[in-house]
Amino acid sequence: MKKLFLILGLIIFSIFTGCGKKDDGNNLIVVVKYKTLPNKSVDAVTGLKKLIEQVKGEEHFVSLKLHIDQNDNSNILLYEEWDDALYYQNQHMKTKHLKEFIVESQTFLAGPPEISLWKVNAVYK
């Protein structure tokens, strides 16, 4: 019985302390820049939103923001945060949903994205 209370206590503690997907200065930041084909911005955003819904379920995913250039909606930027750089660079890149997106995106993207990897140096609020 004591073990049961200990396990329940640890589960509750981990839920309330945000154990797992944390906003941490050691996380990997990924900036992905896309250029859409002419008049394909809506298709690109739709395809990306479908992909993002699947990516959100991945083990080391923390957060993702989708940005659209105010002056040119054919420029799309993703700002991603992951808690494991090796996972992102290996397993994430081999997921079925990402491979499917790469094939499907040829109908709305002008080419492969520009991807850069970053680490947080300082946070100002």
pTM recorded for the entire structure: 0.80
Q: pLDDT-based confidence at 13, cuts 50/70/90?
A: very low
CATH 3.40.1160.10 fits 26-119, yes or no: no
Above 50 in pLDDT, residue 14?
no
- Measured between alpha carbons, how far is 31 from 103 in angstroms, rounded to an integer? 21
Question: Which pLDDT score is estimated for 2?
Answer: 57
Q: What is the DSSP string of 18-29?
A: T-SS---TTSEE
Question: Which pLDDT score is estimated for 25?
Answer: 79
Question: Which tokens belong to 98?
Answer: 């990402």
Longest dimension (CA), the chain: 65
Above 90 in pLDDT, residue 5?
no
Q: What is the pLDDT of residues 50-66, one digit of tens each?
A: 999 999 999 999 999 99
Question: Which pLDDT score is estimated for 23?
Answer: 57
Q: What is the pLDDT of residues 16-25, one digit of tens each?
A: 444 445 556 7
**Among all chains, which residue has been given the structure tokens 């947080």?**
120
Q: What is the mean pLDDT of residues 70-75?
A: 98
- Residues 57-73 as b or e (16 or more Cβ within 10 Å = b): eeebbbebeeeeeeeee
3-state secondary structure of 99: helix
CA distances from 86 to 9, 19, 36, 67, 77 (A): 31, 20, 29, 25, 22
Above 70 in pLDDT, residue 83?
yes
Residue boundaries of the structural domains of the chain:
26-119
Residue-level length of the chain: 125
Give yes or no for a contact between 101 and 13, defined as CB atoms under 8 angstroms apart: no
CA 75 to chain centre: 18
